[in-house]
Structure 1
Amino acid sequence: MKYIILLLICFTVQCGLAQDASTYESVTKTFQEDFNAQNIDAIFNMYTSEMQESMTKEGVSSFINGCYGQFGSIKNITFVETAEGVYSYKVKFDKTILTMDLQLSVNGKISTIQFQEL
């Protein structure tokens, strides 16, 4: 009986992690498409309400336009690792490669996004 309960717990945890991974994959794909299209409204709507309040639409516009102007379009986003709930990716732009740290809320909205040099 103990083994059955342990097996059920492991299965439940695996399903939760797989669902998180698919949500992150979907969000990164959508972010790449909207970034390359310079669709500021769509990117702003991907953020949590707290992020929207702290960054404002004008701030998001400056961030996206600045990144696009400096780095070019996103060619691909490759998953690297997960640490303490933050997913890290290698992002290849036209002109450079950066790391991106991404954290989503429980409803799949961006609560943290940060780009850094490798």
Structure 2
Amino acid sequence: MSDYFGGYAVFVALLLVGGGIVGGGLAANRLLRPDRPTPEKLTTYECGVDPVGGHWAQSYVRYYVFAFLYVVFAVDAVFLFPWATIFAAPGYGMTTLAEMFVFLGFLATGLLYAAKKGVLSWV
């Protein structure tokens, strides 16, 4: 029974050592850094431009949809590369070809749905 908890003791010890290293680094940073706050330093930073207007800004959901579509098709590429490597393996050709067409069919259905909803139009 002591061997069972011995593995956890090593894990807890490593966790404490790692936490101590991170905490020590943060404490050293706090002690060694200069601390001279000015009103100019405490203002909101917006890409080097002085902030103008209120703090509330409205953004379009369309940009997030484009980002989501990009992620979907980037993941598509992640699945295509392993498929291309196993496609030439003996005994897997027709099975992997059929599976890939099913996968590409799901992607095409999603793309057609997005196009039908007007998501793909930029303006």
Same fold (TM over 0.5): no
Structure number with the higher strand fraction is: 1
Which protein, 1 or 2, shows the higher relative CO under an 8 Å CA cutoff with sep ≥ 6? 1
Q: Which TM class, normalised by the smaller chain length? A: 0.3 to 0.5
